Homo-oligomer: A and B are copies of this chain.
Amino acid sequence: MKRIDSVKNDHVKRWKKLHTRKGRETSGRFLVEGYHLVEEAIKAEMVVEYILMTEAIVLPSTLSVQNQDVILVSEQVMKELSETESPQGIAAVCIIPSPPTVKSLEGRYLLLDRIQDPGNLGTMIRTADAAGMTGVVLGEGSVDVLNSKVIRASQGSIFHLPVVKGPLEIWIEALKKASIPVFGTALEGASSYSAIQPQAQFALIMGNEGEGVAKSLLEITDQNIYIPIHGHAESLNVAVAAGILLYYLRG
Contact = CB atoms under 8 A, between A and B. Distances in A.
Contact of A127 (B128, B237, B248): B237
A126 B241 CA distance: 12
Contact of A243 (B129, B234, B243): B243
A78 interface: no
Interface string A218-248: 0000000001011111111101111110011
B233 A155 contact: yes
Q: Size band of the A side of the interface?
A: 35 or more
B236 A126 contact: yes
A126 B244 CA distance: 14
Interface stretch (A6-14, A90-98, A130-138, A175-183): A130-138
Given A243-B244, A247-B227, A247-B244, A129 B237 contact: no
A231 B232 CA distance: 34
A88 to B, nearest CB: 14
Contacts of A227: 130, 247
A161 interface: yes
A157 B237 contact: no
A228 B206 CA distance: 22
B237 A126 contact: yes
Interface in A93-146: 119, 123, 126-133
Q: Which 5 A-B pairs have the closest CB atoms?
A: A132-B230, A240-B243, A130-B233, A160-B232, A129-B233
